[in-house]
Structure 1
Amino acid sequence: MTDKEDATATTGKAYIVGVGMTKFEKPQSRQWQYWDMAREAGGAALADAGISYDLVEQAPVGYCYQASTAAQRAVYELGLTGIPVYNVNNNCATGSTALMMARQFVASGLNDCVLALGFEKMNKGALGAGAGGADFSLSPVARHYGVMAERHGFEMTPPTAQIFGNAAREHMERYGTTAAQLAAVAEKNHRHSAANPRAQFQDVCTREEILAARTIHDPLTKLQCSPTSDGAAAAVIVSERFVREHGLAGRAVEIAAQAMTTDTAESFASGSCIDVVGQPMSRAAARQVYEESGLGIEDIDVIELHDCFSVNELLTYEALGMCPEGKSGPLVESGVTTYGGDWVVNPSGGLISKGHPLGATGLAQCAELTWQLRGEAGPRQVPGARTALAHNIGLGGAAVVTLLRRH
């Protein structure tokens, strides 16, 4: 065994030493291409780490809407060093999947320095059916939509809003969750985004304005739905050896635990949209992360979670163990998920307000939490943050949960 192999294999640790992201923007609002976004975010992450691109050994790169080998076209803006580049697509969990690959490369001892990058250049309007186009029978999520259709029918509203909207209806029917509680999620996240200069929206919205906005799929209004977005984010992941040799201890945030889960029989057995949209996956991934790290949800200070629609934040509270099943509505109303509470959830504004360029979202969560743990989040800083949790899901399905702590 070489010195390098021994230094990495004995610890199995991986650290984030540099992060970067673009401002998330409405599609077609700026004349730029995905490689311009990648250059900006990737360059910022390298500059944040204080290293040059020629030290990067591999690069997993995520996106959903660009053509094959778009990853190469993107990272070639950073340098032409001939390293392996992986094109990653895992629906809305793409960015966190790229991050997980980078962590595995480093923690296994294979590499000392890996760049994880995610980007998306999207079209205006709601997401469509996916790879199957208008024929939902050919969609990778046809089974998921089939469960929904059997119980709720299939309407002409945007399909992703429809399946999450039906999950919200079920939660309301089962637990007495109210429209006002759903709106409280969006109210909190829009308020948080006002302090985030990289967020797509920075407008504070009242609960009444949220409830009065145009209905996308009852009970979800427009201000409770994440928008399509353009943007990119990146992170530099390194070994303990690399941290030591490059004097990066003051910048390093440890990836203390991470897990990815996919659908099991539980996702489909109940015929419930609550299960189909990923609550069982999220619960299983969180359990694995708590077991690996030895920490529990009560030990976490700040959380970035996948609030693609307001209801999914409530479902994720329950999956992460923040409250008993069915009690997430009262939890958000109580104020414990914002500043001054037990946790600060989505200080960035979350997907609802920060934006949701699919391939970049998981890495944008990573960037926000890294800034929080370093104390570099400015006016949205969570006081004394030492531990953080990221949650990112994609229908089809994948759930990635990542636990970070200050080195």
Structure 2
Amino acid sequence: MLIAGVGMIPFTKPGQSAPYDEMGSTAIQLALQDAGISYDVVEQAYAGFVYGDSCSGQRAIYRTGMSGIPIVNVNNNCSTGSTALFLARQAIASGAAECVLAVGFEEMRPGALGNVFADRVSPFTAFDDACDALVDVDLPVALRFFGGAGLAHMEKYGSTLADFAKVRAKASRHAANNPLSIFRNILTEEEVLAAPVIWPGVMTKLMACPPTCGAAAAILVSGRLARRLGLRTEVRIAAQAMTTDRPNTFEAGDMMYVVGKDMTRRAAEAVYEASGVGPKDIRVAELHDCFAHNEVVTYEGLGLCGEGEAAKFIADQDNTYGGRVVTNPSGGLLSKGHPLGATGLAQCFELTQQLRGAAGARQVEGARHALQHNLGLGGACVVTLYERAA
């Protein structure tokens, strides 16, 4: 199926955004304009958000139109936006609809993430137990999880704090060319290392993505509808896979598994097998760099480099322009921002623009395939392969 239209608003700091419904509606309208259709062509909608009451999707979508179509609210932690995209793609693939909207939005609060409902068992209990057995440090949960994964990579493969700093500095250079990014200031490796220390020897403050507000949307259509209405056909989803945890998440005794490395590997392998496209064919990727540490782990999980070769991949600058795979040309979560429900669709926005040749100063030349990786602890991982029409 085809990506007929995409829309995204600039990401902002908590307290500086419009309300979630306004952000979501604006992203929808931008996607409809990009597709060149009106809302009444849309047959189904999937609305992703993590922090909001039930039916927030209807609240946002109703600002654009009230046509009586099915609207499904989606919450899959940080992979929420890509889960909405996954469901929209399935609706078209099954023949249930020919034009489907996926929208993601988030109005976040400052500070570390945490449980909202403290009066019941946490869905992260098993993850917390696994982390407690492997990580002995008193930090907020996300910092412990992803810092712990980074530490595991350092101990197993010899990566260093400087490797994580290089990844963060690279993200800032990419984001400098993205007007929708929350942070556009260029950082050096030395500045990242000199930032306030969160975990000595493991993480500085600049290696973590900030809480962010924002929204993004995509319009997916069948080839038949695109031909009938004369819609855009430059970009299609060639393959997509969603995975969840297996017992080895908790049994491997490895924080990289706890944060989803195996989910990533299995989703990527399924996409490569379904499409006939391999990691060597990928020239541009948007991956889930909620922490610089997770980007390093994900290089290997996606097969962009061999197991234990991430440090060399970084040193050779194969993760940026002039290298083998430009990772996160948008600036990624580290610089673009991470409004949880919107992130997956913001990645879709960036890669669609890349394959259209419309990314401006961020353009990756010669890219025919683009890979998207969106990960949510708890857990779910969505990997999507986009392809430019010949």
TM-score, with structure 1 as normaliser: 0.93
Match of 1:67 among 36, 48, 53: 53
For the 8 Å contact 1:148–1:154, the answer to whether it is kept is no
SS of the residue 1:303 aligns to: strand
Q: Which position in structure 2 is the counterpart of 1:394?
A: 376
Q: Which position in structure 2 is the counterpart of 1:200?
A: 182
Map 1:253-268 → 2, pairs under 5 A: 253-268=235-250
Match of 1:152 among 130, 135, 145: 135
Map 1:35-74 → 2, pairs under 5 A: 35-74=21-60
Map 1:89-108 → 2, pairs under 5 A: 89-108=75-94
Map 1:326-405 → 2, pairs under 5 A: 326-405=308-387
Map 1:79-90 → 2, pairs under 5 A: 79-90=65-76
Deviations 1:251-288 (A, max 9, x none): 44110000000000121111211100000000000000
For the 8 Å contact 1:19–1:235, the answer to whether it is kept is yes
1:132 Cα deviation from its structure 2 partner = 4.5
SS of the residue 2:43 aligns to: coil
Match of 1:229 among 168, 191, 212: 212
In the alignment, structure 1 residue 274 sits paired with structure 2 residue 256: yes
Q: Which position in structure 2 is the counterpart of 1:188?
A: 170
Map 1:243-322 → 2, pairs under 5 A: 243-249=226-232, 251-322=233-304
Match of 1:143 among 116, 126, 129: 126
Which amino acid counterpart does residue 8 of structure 2 have in structure 1? M
Unpaired runs of at least 5, structure 1: 1-13
Distance in 2 between residues matched to 1:379 and 1:322, nearest whole Å: 24
Distance in 1 between residues matched to 2:206 and 2:34, nearest whole Å: 33
Unpaired runs of at least 5, structure 2: none
In the alignment, structure 1 residue 116 sits paired with structure 2 residue 98: no
Distance in 2 between residues matched to 1:248 and 1:104, nearest whole Å: 20
Which amino acid counterpart does residue 9 of structure 2 have in structure 1? T
Which amino acid counterpart does residue 105 of structure 1 have in structure 2? A
Distance in 2 between residues matched to 1:76 and 1:184, nearest whole Å: 43
For the 8 Å contact 1:131–1:139, the answer to whether it is kept is no
Distance in 2 between residues matched to 1:216 and 1:390, nearest whole Å: 29
In the alignment, structure 1 residue 325 sits paired with structure 2 residue 311: no
In the alignment, structure 1 residue 172 sits paired with structure 2 residue 154: yes
Q: Which position in structure 2 is the counterpart of 1:4?
A: none
Q: Which position in structure 1 is the counterpart of 2:4?
A: 17
For the 8 Å contact 2:105–2:339, the answer to whether it is kept is yes
Shifted more, 141-150 versus 192-201: the winner is: 141-150
1:217 Cα deviation from its structure 2 partner = 3.1
Distance in 2 between residues matched to 1:79 and 1:217, nearest whole Å: 48
For the 8 Å contact 2:135–2:144, the answer to whether it is kept is no
* Matched pairs, number: 388
Which amino acid counterpart does residue 42 of structure 1 have in structure 2? I
Which amino acid counterpart does residue 320 of structure 1 have in structure 2? L
Distance in 1 between residues matched to 2:373 and 2:294, nearest whole Å: 11
Q: Which position in structure 1 is the counterpart of 2:225?
A: 242
Distance in 2 between residues matched to 1:65 and 1:326, nearest whole Å: 36
Distance in 1 between residues matched to 2:217 and 2:50, nearest whole Å: 16
SS of the residue 1:64 aligns to: coil
1:50 Cα deviation from its structure 2 partner = 0.3
Distance in 1 between residues matched to 2:303 and 2:234, nearest whole Å: 28
Counting aligned pairs with the same residue, the percent is 54
1:138 Cα deviation from its structure 2 partner = 2.5
For the 8 Å contact 1:113–1:239, the answer to whether it is kept is yes
For the 8 Å contact 1:261–1:281, the answer to whether it is kept is yes
Deviations 1:212-252 (A, max 9, x none): 11122341111111110000000000001011011124x44
Deviations 1:347-390 (A, max 9, x none): 00000000000000000000000000000001111112211000
SS of the residue 1:138 aligns to: coil
